[in-house]
Amino acid sequence: MSTLISARNIYREYKVSAGNVSALNGISLDFEEKRFYAIIGRSGSGKSTLLHILGGLDKPTAGEILIEGQDICKLTDEKRSVFRRRYMGFVFQQYNLLDEHNVRDNILMPLSLDHKKPDVIFYNEVINTLGLEGKTKKYPCELSGGEQQRVAIARSVIAKPKLIIADEPTGNLDKKTGEETIALLLECAKKFGQTLIIATHDQELAKKADEIVRIEDGRVV
Ligand SMILES: Nc1ncnc2c1ncn2[C@@H]1O[C@H](COP(=O)(O)OP(=O)(O)OP(=O)(O)O)[C@@H](O)[C@H]1O
Ligand SMILES: [Mg+2]
């Protein structure tokens, strides 16, 4: 097994009017290729903060995030965005689709931002895997929550990133739809050889992981 991404002694402080909040207090973790990790812990324990930093969406106050030997925290914002689009896919609780773009354009967004042409065969495979045939011309507002999340999953895998980061991906879905959506996310990750890191409050989902990481007060316990 080889390590895909490493967090080295990560700290994150937020400055708020009442002083500083220490969201992460020295987190070190290695994530291996093609494995599924569940990040669990109480509300406010630091899961989202950690995912944002792992995904290069936020910078730590101290520490390193190493991907293939490169510390992504040291890159300029622009280079980090490019890095992010090539290495990572994201799935959020709120789907974060672009309302003014149809399903197809939303899915292809990570490629179009990089001026890349889609691999049509792969695109069709993703659409079929996620059961989105017949939905590609629709707009996000015309879809159910579960359908929107499947579009978000399609978007997260389309650039064939090595890592998929998902923050409570089923938080807005009913139990059954949530389970179906997760099954598809796991199927995609397996099929396309991706490492999956999911923050979740769902014990059943966590049990499916290869490894469970529990966070308490910004520390791994
Ligand atoms: N932008 C921010 N400004 C100030 N404090 C923040 C900010 N974002 C998060 N925090 C604080 O950092 C800590 C960790 O928050 P985080 O969102 O990472 O928790 P979480 O484990 O994802 O919680 P949940 O399960 O509710 O999503 C909390 O104390 C939170 O209040
Ligand atoms: Mg959170």
User: Which domain does 161 fall in, by range?
Assistant: 34-59+76-220
pLDDT tens per residue, range 83-114: 888 889 999 988 899 999 999 999 999 999 88
Joined tokens for residue 15: 């400055």
- Pocket probe mutation, ligand 1, options 10, 11, 21, max atoms within 8 Å of Cβ: 21
Indicate which ligand has the atom closest to the C-alpha of 216: 1
Does residue 202 lie in a domain region? yes
Res 103: pLDDT: 98
- Pocket probe mutation, ligand 1, options 25, 47, 167, max atoms within 8 Å of Cβ: 47
Does residue 152 lie in a domain region? yes
Ion ligand 2, residue ranges at CB < 5 A: 47-48
pLDDT tens per residue, range 157-181: 999 999 999 999 988 888 888 888 8
How far, in Å, are 1, 29, 52, 77, 134 from residue 207 at the CA level? 21, 19, 23, 36, 34
Task: Examine the pLDDT at 1 and tell me if it is beyond 80.
Answer: no
Res 140: pLDDT: 96
- Record the pTM: 0.94
Does residue 14 lie in a domain region? no
Does residue 24 lie in a domain region? no
Indicate which ligand has the atom closest to the C-alpha of 39: 1
Joined tokens for residue 24: 């992460």
CATH code for position 39: 3.40.50.300
Kindly give the distance from the C-alpha atom of residue 47 to the centroid of ligand 2, in angstroms, as a whole number: 5
Does residue 15 lie in a domain region? no
DSSP state of 175: H
Residue nearest to atom 24 of ligand 1 (CA): 43
Does residue 23 lie in a domain region? no
User: Bridge partners of 65?
Assistant: 7
14 touches ligand 1 (CB under 6 Å): yes
Question: Which range (25-29, 83-87, 191-195) has the least confidence?
Answer: 83-87
Q: How many domains does the chain have?
A: 1
The 3-state secondary structure of 24-81, one letter per residue: EEEEEEEEECCCEEEEECCCCCCHHHHHHHHCCCCCCCEEEEEECCEEHHHCCHHHHH
